[in-house]
Amino acid sequence: MVKQQSKRILLVGEPMALLTANRPGELASVEDFSISVAGAEYNVAIGLARLGHEPVYTTRLGRDPFGKRIFAGLVENRIATERILWDETRQTGMMLKGRAAAEGDDPDIFYFRKNSAASALTKEQVEEWSLKEYAALHLTGIFPALNEGTRGAVLALAKKARQAGCLVSFDPNLRPSLWESEEQMKHTLQEIASLADVVLPGLQEGRILTGKDTPEEIAGVYHAMGVRAVVIKTGAEGAFYSICRIGLDSQNGRNGRCFIEQAQTGYVSGFQAERVVDTVGAGDGFAVGVLSGLLEELPGKEKRLFEWFPEGGKEAEAALRKAVQRGNAIGCLQVMHRGDNEGLPTREALADFFSKHRESSSSDRGSSVRAEEESFREERTEKEADEENVEETTETEVLEKRLRQLRIVPVIQLERPEQGVPLTRALAAGGLPVAEITFRTAAAEEAIRTIHKEVPEVLILAGTVLDVETAKRAIEAGASAIVSPGTNPEVVAWCLERQIPVLPGCATPTEIEACRRMGLHIVKFFPAEAAGGVKMLRSLAGPYRDMSFMPTGGISPENLGDYLALPHVVACGGSYMVPGELLKREDYGEIQRLVEETVRGLG
């Protein structure tokens, strides 16, 4: 068996604050609610994270309590937030959800999302993004229903994903009340579907969107549009799938596509739920199963899973059928739990579910369930064996990965604590949600504390930390890592004992040797230009291949590219995009412009 490999998956949507009634009754009369987070794409992201993948969420959040709660929920559920945008004027959307009088009944739902922060996402805000790092893009039909801007953003991302070779999955998830007309809904969702590799409609949704009646007819419409795989949910009965090879033919097919081989089709039976508690989120759970199953089944293939279609298509059909079975299982687990995502399983819980249902299944179904169960069991055994020899991902490794994504860290010296929040908001709005706040002034500690509270999306590094006492104050205030101009063994030891990332300054092989002996693999190269710059770093990379560096000191627009071209450089620290004069004048708009210019320069 090939070990499950974590994949980065981009999702776009509107997560909302969810107030759920704690007792049955009309929403207008209920007085007791519980608060959580809702949203189809948010549910899928949670499910993917629980199965060990790396979901990345993109949306706009209002700078309000609901927005901060949602952001905290994303972080808590290990959903990457680097694509989150913040809105200083619009509010985060919310919804009310009733409690059905009888288990299994659909609850009443009411939305407060008109003119929300998320509804302000547009094509212009995403068109410069590169999606090459993602294995897949998952979309639903909910977000494009909000307005013309969100429709443009979704279509732009779908087109960019195809260009980048990502797998594109699309769940129509119809919300007719959000659309101006049924005709607009049909036209838009079919346009998005034509850009997808996998489309996941419910049976009734498929009938509305295509005008056809049977699953086979509905799938045929999507294949003719260029969709390689269609999976149609048929409720408790299970799901129908159809997969075909799509070839390029300038004479036939939309956008020069046509299917050139007969579709492979089949039905996959559903699992019997012990009891149906809440149907909300079942479709999202199904999408989690299908998408994760496809991405895991053929980890060695190219990201566009259906471009490599083998002779006869049997391998691809087997992969899809297995993924659909997983979708059925996760959908069944979800309906047995109250709440939108509480039933989404971990890999261990999913393995237990398959084990429980193996014996009660028919012979054909039982062998399929057994194969899935054994796959999870073997993976678990390998994981347990690996844990004896491989340490878990450390906070320093997480930091290094984040720095490699950001590529540059603004180094900030604040004169007054109140400058911290508007400055870091300008950095984040410009595309750099990170700052090294230096302890060169007395304003640093309080600034870090307020930034941590008010601008939680910003990664805070505490700079110019010269002693343990300063390190303690920085971490207690909310800093995520300690950065020093030199190598202080006491500071390094204090951080390592508490598993706090620390980047001590090094400029010579002797200092690097000392850091290696203490167990560090990433350091600050300071002062970069004065210590020899790019040539010195290139020389150091030879003997110290296991070390990574964050050069700081003398970094400018002219030499930034040269530093970042070195593979052992994780990011550069620099202050040129935050000139002291602009900070003194509190010209945060111009600072944001300079940051945007810097980010564009990074590509």
What positions carry a catalytic annotation?
Answer: 284
477's tokens: 């205030």
List phi, psi (to 5°) of 266.
180, 170
C-beta neighbour count of 528 within 10 angstroms: 26
Distance in angstroms (rounded) separating the CA atoms of residues 550 and 569: 6
CB 218 within 8 A of CB 230: yes
List phi, psi (to 5°) of 143.
-60, -40
Q: Residue 295: CB partners within 8 Å, gap ≥ 6? A: 7, 9, 53, 135, 136, 167, 305
Token look-up 């070839």 returns 247
Q: Is 395 helix (H, G, I), strand (E, B) or coil?
A: helix
8-state DSSP, 19: E
369's tokens: 């369930």
Q: Is 8 helix (H, G, I), strand (E, B) or coil?
A: strand
CB 288 within 8 A of CB 150: no
**Strand pairing partners for 437?**
412, 462
> What is the DSSP annotation of 197-251?
SEE--BHHHHHHHHS--SHHHHHHHHHHTT-SEEEEE-GGGEEEEEE--EEE-TT
CB 308 within 8 A of CB 167: no
Burial class (CB in 10 A: 0-12, 13-18, 19+), 108: middle
- Largest distance between two CA atoms of the chain: 75
Q: Is 194 helix (H, G, I), strand (E, B) or coil?
A: coil
8-state DSSP, 413: -
Sign of CA dihedral 275, 281, 282, 285: negative
- Stated as kind and residue range, the H or E segment containing 516 is helix 509-517
Q: What Cα–Cα distance (Å) separates residue 511 from each residue in 271, 503, 505, 567?
A: 61, 12, 8, 21
Distance in angstroms (rounded) separating the CA atoms of residues 279 and 187: 28
**Strand pairing partners for 422?**
none
